Amino acid sequence: MTENQLEHELLPLPQSSFAQPPAPDHPQGPHQNQLLQGLAQHDIPLHPPSDSDSTTQNRPRLPGQSPRWTNHRRLILLVLLGSSLWAIVLVLVYYSQQDVKTQSKEITPTEKVTQCLSKACQRASVRLYTSVDPFSHPCDYFLITCGSDRPWPTTRGKKRSEGPPLNLQRQPKGAEMRTKKKEKNLDGNMKVEEILDRKNALMRYLQEALESKSRSGSAVQKVKDFYRSCLDTKSIETAGVEPFLTLVQQLGGWGISGQWNHSDFNSTLKVLIRQYASFPFFNLYVGRDPNEILRGTDRKYIQIDEPDLLIPIAWNNTAQKSIAKTQTLFPFLALCQKYLALLGAPSGSNIVHVGMFISLSSELAVATSPLSYRLLNGLLYQRITIKELANEAPVIDWLGCLQAAFHPHPVRPEDHVLLHNLPYIVQMSNVIQKWLTEHELRSSGPVRTFMFLKLLQTFTPALDSRFRETERRFYLALGHTVPEVPRWKHCITETEKGFDTVLPHILTDMATQRKAEEMLENIFSIFKTKLNHLDWGDNNSQQSLMKKVHSLTPRLWTQTESKRESELDLLFSEVNISTRSYFSNYIQLLDLQRQRRNRLFNQTQEDDIFSVRPFHSGNEVIFPMGMFVPPFFHATYPRAMNYGILGIFIAKDIFHLLLQDDPSLSEAGTAMAECVWAHYLSTTGRAGGGNATVLSAVQRREIWLQYSALQVAFQAYQQSLQRQPEDSALLHLSLTHLFLTSFAQVDCDTELYGDSMPLEPSFMITVLCSTSTLCPAALECPSKTQLHSLKACLPHSS
């Protein structure tokens, strides 16, 4: 075999960037360079000569020199040369190890690193494998848009007017691969563009948990059964309207059915409020008084607001009152007629009931007013006792209704409530009294019909599709957009309304909680350190900000501090869920909502299982558990991946949350943003162009915040490795490679702040790698002239 053939055999086979072994995370050390230069100066060959060497074959034989001696001489030379090469190799290895030790901050897999093979990691591997490796095509990857082949940066499908158009002559490989990525289904039901949204990721995680067949405690199993009964649309369609008509008869009937017992108005109203969470004439909820919040009082009050009326209304600025527009009454008339037809009302009496319902609705509607008007005129949070309220609006048995709504919470006549439109409450009482006196006993009971049609509105989600379709067409006729919500997502939302104490139990496990708390602690610590080193130019502003930040503590919010499984089972022991009757399950859900409303009296803050962003409360920055779900986070993921995805989002959220009220930006931050922008223009070939976009103050601020967030997450991960050096790996990527690739995979996440960014967030990787020795490869574009150097204006990142 010739030397050329041998070299050909040793050439590596072409591989995917994710299949190759990890590249070194730093360039050749100075010791290796010195050794190689020395070898070159002394003409020491790096490979033994081959038998096919033409120089050796044609060299003349010396006199007296036998071929045998020549062969022995060659053998001796080969042995000596081989020994020399081994010595050189050993020296190189020695100096290489010494060079690694000098780079103590470097993040690379060690012999202790093992591949993550959990189910979550297998899914993550598929997502990473179908994504574009930013270090394979840096020229294309960082300049192309998120899943678009249009030559300009975009966010959420719309053009970013702030960004300069890129003069690309072809669709880069990065764009092509991203487009294919968006079309590819993962795990059979979840597309990449869906999982990149935090709220959708949480919903998908809950869906998988609720649809799993794993053994569960009694309470969790009841939640799963409720969810599955909601998904069982076949049984719902088969049941039709009969469950609702049966309920109406149990309540004494109404004039539309021809039989009703003329029961007392307030008696029926209290039953609707307590058992079915139906509030036909007003709304009830629990909350604090803003005037007391400033004094640090956490007391909760019953709050009484306007109802959600079916009839469409508009506000007349000239007359300063609400009106019912004629053009909107026709769709409303069609809605009411369709509802009564579905309920089996005789066609002959249909128009009479509809006419009275519209008339009564109109009289109530004109007494309402929009929130802006009520705020301007001081109609919100008016304090009044229940006894005083009964004098202002006597037609309602206020004490009895509030006791029914909040049973078993004690409600007394001297208790204060907060009103949000007293003029409406007074007018509502007068209107109902008039209709009860003039019509109720002599006709088919229009007030009762009004109450039952409002009850129908409460139960529409539990009835067959004809009712939902009727409602959808009504809103479309009014010009509203009605988004199509998948049934599974609708059922998760309905499940949360009553089982809000159980769903956090599904989200929370000790491994996730422990690793989430460690991440929060590291990121918040680095965040405070970074702020300490900033030069804000205003000492007073900086001291005030640092005092505020150092007084805060990050806390993982597990909603109701997740109860034990046995406690949940006892709490829901009286709840009976049917696997075939969603309507009966829905009735129990309404009672669970009432119990949830009562719990608000004793809770510091209302639970929100769907919360996916941190918020500031007192001296705490609270992070919901809903943030810590796949694909952004998992207890079995390598930490490099958790920090590279969710860690960066957390850091970004902290910057926005705590600096949003401070419009100032340090001089260093402004310089950094301009430096990044100059590098971006240079990379895209637009440096020095006359039409280069000038950054606004908001854009400079956003560039600084997003790059700072990447730095904080990266340094927090390094700090985590210093405390616990072991980490698992994925796809044989080095840890730095995995961190940055994970970030790049979700750089197109629909963030709230994307519109302020004139470039794609993943471009920040080029910025980080320009000042750090930890990146797996140099991110340069040979085909473009890069005139701008980031090293001159950015701090070192490693």
Q: For 2-15, what is each residue's pLDDT tens digit?
A: 434 323 332 232 33
Helices (H) and strands (E) in the chain, counts: 34, 15
Q: Encoding tokens for residue 534?
A: 């900033």
Print burial letters for 779-788: b (CB count within 10 Å at least 16), e (below 16). Answer: bebeeeebeb
pLDDT of residue 796: 56
User: What number is the average pLDDT over the span 52-64?
Assistant: 40
pLDDT of residue 663: 62
Residue 487's alpha-carbon distances to 229, 490, 492, 608, 609, in angstroms, are 12, 5, 9, 21, 19
User: What number is the average pLDDT over the span 409-431?
Assistant: 97
* Beta-carbon count within 10 A of 201 CB: 23
DSSP 306: -
User: What number is the average pLDDT over the span 609-627?
Assistant: 90
CB contact at 8 A, 401 and 282? no
**Could you tell me if residue 116 is left (phi over 0), alpha (psi between -120 and 50 degrees) or otherwise beta?**
beta
Print burial letters for 239-274: b (CB count within 10 Å at least 16), e (below 16). Answer: beeebbeebbeebbbbbbbeebeeeebeebbbbbbb
Residue 302's alpha-carbon distances to 307, 597, 707, in angstroms, are 15, 10, 46
Tokens 């990050």 locate to 554
Does the pLDDT of residue 747 top 50, yes or no?
A: yes
Residue 475's alpha-carbon distances to 456, 482, 571, 764, in angstroms, are 17, 7, 39, 44
Specify the length of the chain in residues.
Answer: 798
Under the banding of pLDDT at 50, 70 and 90, the label for residue 379 is: very high
Residue 66's alpha-carbon distances to 50, 55, 60, 75, 411, in angstroms, are 20, 18, 12, 14, 119
Name the phi and psi angles at 10, rounded to 5.
-90, -5
d(C-alpha 509, C-alpha 352), whole Å: 58
d(C-alpha 581, C-alpha 729), whole Å: 48
Least confident of 7-21, 47-61, 505-519, 538-552: 7-21
pLDDT of residue 182: 36
Which residue intervals of 62-170 are DSSP H helices? Answer: 67-102, 119-129, 138-141
Q: CATH top-level class for 105-127+163-195+509-557+637-798? A: alpha beta
% of the chain exceeding 70 in pLDDT: 70
pLDDT of residue 788: 63
DSSP 51: T
d(C-alpha 525, C-alpha 715), whole Å: 10
Does the pLDDT of residue 685 top 80, yes or no?
A: no
For 264-462, CATH number out of 3.30.470.30, 3.60.130.10, 1.10.1380.10, 3.90.330.10 equals 1.10.1380.10
pLDDT of residue 188: 38
Residue type, 5: Q
In DSSP terms, which residues pair with 159 in a beta bridge? Answer: 154
Least confident of 67-76, 360-369, 468-477, 700-709: 67-76
CB contact at 8 A, 575 and 588? yes
Q: What is the 3-state secondary structure (H, E, C) of 330-375?
A: HHHHHHHHHHHHHCCCCHHHHHHHHHHHHHHHHHHHCCCCCHHHHH
Under the banding of pLDDT at 50, 70 and 90, the label for residue 148 is: very low
Under the banding of pLDDT at 50, 70 and 90, the label for residue 192 is: very low
User: What number is the average pLDDT over the span 69-73?
Assistant: 52
Does the pLDDT of residue 442 top 60, yes or no?
A: no
pLDDT of residue 589: 97
Residues 83-112 have pLDDT tens digits of 554 444 344 333 333 333 333 334 444 446
Residue type, 207: Q
Under the banding of pLDDT at 50, 70 and 90, the label for residue 36 is: very low
pLDDT of residue 672: 86
Least confident of 234-243, 574-583, 764-773: 764-773
pLDDT of residue 444: 64
The better pLDDT of the pair 674, 230 is held by 230
User: What number is the average pLDDT over the span 212-222?
Assistant: 89
For the chain, domain boundaries: 13-53+76-101, 105-127+163-195+509-557+637-798, 264-462
pLDDT of residue 578: 92
d(C-alpha 412, C-alpha 415), whole Å: 5
Q: What is the 3-state secondary structure (H, E, C) of 174-230?
A: HHHHHHHHHHCEECCCEEHHHHCCHHHHHHHHHHHHHHCCCCCCHHHHHHHHHHHHH
Does the pLDDT of residue 152 top 80, yes or no?
A: no
- CB under 8 Å to 34, separation ≥6 — which residues? none
Name the phi and psi angles at 262, rounded to 5.
55, 40
Does the pLDDT of residue 346 top 70, yes or no?
A: yes
In DSSP terms, which residues pair with 556 in a beta bridge? Answer: 623
pLDDT of residue 176: 37
When the pLDDT of each residue in the chain is averaged and rounded to a whole number, the result is: 77
Residue 446: name the closest of 252, 265, 247, 251 by CA. Answer: 265
Does the pLDDT of residue 337 top 80, yes or no?
A: yes
User: What number is the average pLDDT over the span 453-458?
Assistant: 95
d(C-alpha 71, C-alpha 355), whole Å: 117
% of the chain exceeding 90 in pLDDT: 45
Q: What is the CA radius of gyration of the chain?
A: 35
User: What number is the average pLDDT over the span 132-149?
Assistant: 57
Residue type, 345: A
The better pLDDT of the pair 794, 456 is held by 456
Range from 4-13, 208-217, 287-296, 559-568 that averages highest in pLDDT: 208-217
Name the phi and psi angles at 385, rounded to 5.
-80, 160
Under the banding of pLDDT at 50, 70 and 90, the label for residue 72 is: low
d(C-alpha 422, C-alpha 400), whole Å: 19
Does the pLDDT of residue 654 top 70, yes or no?
A: yes
Least confident of 371-380, 508-517, 573-582, 707-716: 508-517
d(C-alpha 198, C-alpha 627), whole Å: 7
CB contact at 8 A, 77 and 51? no
* Beta-carbon count within 10 A of 324 CB: 18
d(C-alpha 93, C-alpha 91), whole Å: 5
Q: Encoding tokens for residue 367?
A: 């007494």
pTM score above 0.85: no
797: enclosing H helix or E strand:
none
Does the pLDDT of residue 537 top 80, yes or no?
A: no
DSSP string, 615-664: EEETTEEEEEGGGS-TTT--TTS-HHHHIIIIIHHHHHHHHHHHHTT---
End-to-end CA distance of the chain: 46
Name the phi and psi angles at 328, rounded to 5.
-90, -15
